[in-house]
Chain A
Amino acid sequence: MAIIIWIIQLILVPILSPLFLGVIRKIKAHFQNRVGASIFKPYRDLWKLFHKDEVISEDASWIFRFTPYLIFTITIVLGASIPLFSNLFSNNLLSDFLTVVYLVALSTFFLALAGIDVGSAFGGFGSSREMTLAALTEGGFIFSLLALSFLAHSTNLFSITKTISNFSLFDFMPIILVFISFMIVMLCETAHFPFDNPATHLELTMVHEAMILEYSGKRLALIEWAAANKFLIFLSLGANMFFPWGLTAQADIWSIVLALVVFSVKILILTTFVAILESSIAKFRFFRLPDLLFTAFVLSAMAILLIL
Chain B
Amino acid sequence: MFNLISTQFSFFLALLLLAIGAIGSLIFAKKDWLANLWGNGLAILASVSGLVAAVKVLFFGESFTYVINSTLPNLSFSFMVDKLSAFFIFIISLIALLASIYGLSYVKHFYKKYNLGVLGFFYNIFLAGMLFVVSAHNGFFFLIVWEVMSLASYFLVIFENKEKNNIKAGSLYFIMTHVGTAFIMLAFLLLYKTIGSLDFNVIKENIGHMSLLSKNLVFIFSLIGFGIKAGIIPFHIWLPSAHPAAPTHVSALMSGVMIKTGIYMFIRLFVEILSGTELWWGVLILIIGIFSSLLGVLYALTEHDIKRLLAFHSIENIGIILLGVGSAMIFLSLNLKTMATLSLVAALFHTLNHATFKALLFMGAGSVISQTHTRNIEEYGGLIKFMPQTAFYFLIGSLAISALPPFNGFFSEWLTFQTIFNGIQISDIFIKSIFILAAGGLAFTGGLAAACFVKAFGATFLARPRNEKVLQTKESSFSMRFGMGVLAFTTLILGIFAGVVSKIILGVVNNLNGFQQISGIFSGQGKTFELSNGFAIVSTPMIFLILLVVLFLVYWIVKILTNKRKVKIGCTWDCGTKLEPRMEITATGFARSIIMIFKGVLKPSKKFEVEYQDADMRYFTKSRNIKLEIADIYQVYFYQPLYNLVISFSSYVKRIQNGILNAYVAYIFLILLILLLTFSF
Contact = CB atoms under 8 A, between A and B. Distances in A.
Interface of A: 50-59, 61-63, 69-70, 72-74, 76-77, 93-94, 96, 98-99, 102-103, 105-106, 108-109, 112-113, 116-121, 123-125, 127-129, 131-132, 134-139, 141-143, 146, 149-150, 153-156, 213-214, 217-218, 222, 286-287, 290, 297, 301, 304-305, 308
Interface in B510-550: 527-528, 534-539, 542-543, 546-547, 550
Contacts of B561: 50
A99 B538 contact: yes
Interface string B563-601: 001111111111100010101110001111110110000
B385 interface: yes
A56 B573 CA distance: 11
Contacts of B592: 128
Given A73-B547, A93-B528, A106-B404, A98 B451 contact: no
Contact of B565 (A214, A217, A301): A217
A308 B432 contact: yes
B47 interface: no
Interface of B: 381-382, 384-385, 391, 395, 399, 402-405, 410, 414, 417, 421, 424-425, 427, 429, 432-433, 436, 439-440, 443-444, 446-448, 450-451, 453-455, 457-459, 461-464, 527-528, 534-539, 542-543, 546-547, 550-551, 554-555, 558, 561-562, 565-575, 579, 581, 583-585, 589-594, 596-597
Nearest to A156: B537
Given A53-B567, A55-B569, 4 more contacts: A93-B537, A119-B583, A135-B451, A308-B432
B457 A113 contact: yes
A190 B673 CA distance: 81
Contacts of B382: 59, 119
Contacts of A108: 450
Interface of B (DSSP majority class): helix
A94 B542 contact: yes
A222 B565 CA distance: 15
Contacts of B571: 57-59
The interface centre, meaning the residue of B384, B433, B567, B592 with most chain A CB atoms within 10 A of its CB, is: B567
B547 A77 contact: yes
28 contacts: A50-B565, A53-B565, A54-B566, A55-B568, A59-B464, A59-B572, A61-B391, A63-B395, A63-B462, A93-B538, A96-B537, A98-B417, A98-B538, A105-B402, A105-B403, A109-B402, A112-B458, A116-B585, A119-B572, A131-B590, A143-B439, A154-B535, A155-B535, A217-B562, A217-B567, A287-B593, A297-B440, A305-B432
A118 B462 CA distance: 7
B405 A116 contact: no
A134 B597 CA distance: 13
Question: 9 closest pairs, A vs B, by CB?
Answer: A124-B585, A119-B463, A135-B447, A138-B447, A116-B458, A131-B451, A93-B539, A155-B536, A57-B572
A143 B443 contact: yes
A121 B583 contact: yes
Contacts of B395: 63
B440 A58 contact: no
Contacts of A102: 403-405, 410, 414, 446
A308 B435 CA distance: 13
Contacts of B569: 55-58
Nearest to A114: B462
A206 to B, nearest CB: 14
Nearest to A289: B597
Contacts of B421: 146, 149-150
Contact of B436 (A118, A154, A301): A301
A128 B585 contact: yes
A112 B570 CA distance: 21
A134 B448 CA distance: 8
A214 B385 contact: no
A135 B450 contact: yes
Nearest to B566: A53
A77 B546 contact: yes
Given A119-B462, A128-B589, A106 B405 contact: yes
B444 A138 contact: yes
A297 to B, nearest CB: 7
A109 B403 contact: no
Contacts of A301: 436, 440
A99 B405 contact: yes
Contacts of B443: 138-139, 141-143
Contact of A54 (B403, B448, B565, B575): B565
A139 B417 CA distance: 12
Contacts of A127: 454, 458, 585, 590
A96 B568 CA distance: 42
A214 B444 contact: no
A143 B444 contact: no
A72 B547 CA distance: 10
A118 B573 CA distance: 9
A137 B421 CA distance: 19
Given A93-B542, A99-B543, A119 B464 contact: yes
B584 A304 contact: no
A58 B592 CA distance: 28
A63 B451 CA distance: 17
A134 B405 CA distance: 17
B462 A117 contact: yes
A214 B558 contact: no
A58 B558 CA distance: 22
B440 to A, nearest CB: 5
A98 B414 contact: yes
B570 A56 contact: yes
A146 B439 contact: yes
A51 B454 contact: no
Given A93-B542, A128-B590, A136-B447, A72 B554 contact: yes
A109 B410 CA distance: 14
A131 B399 CA distance: 14
A113 B555 CA distance: 20
B509 to A, nearest CB: 22
A135 B452 CA distance: 10
B568 A54 contact: yes
B424 A103 contact: no
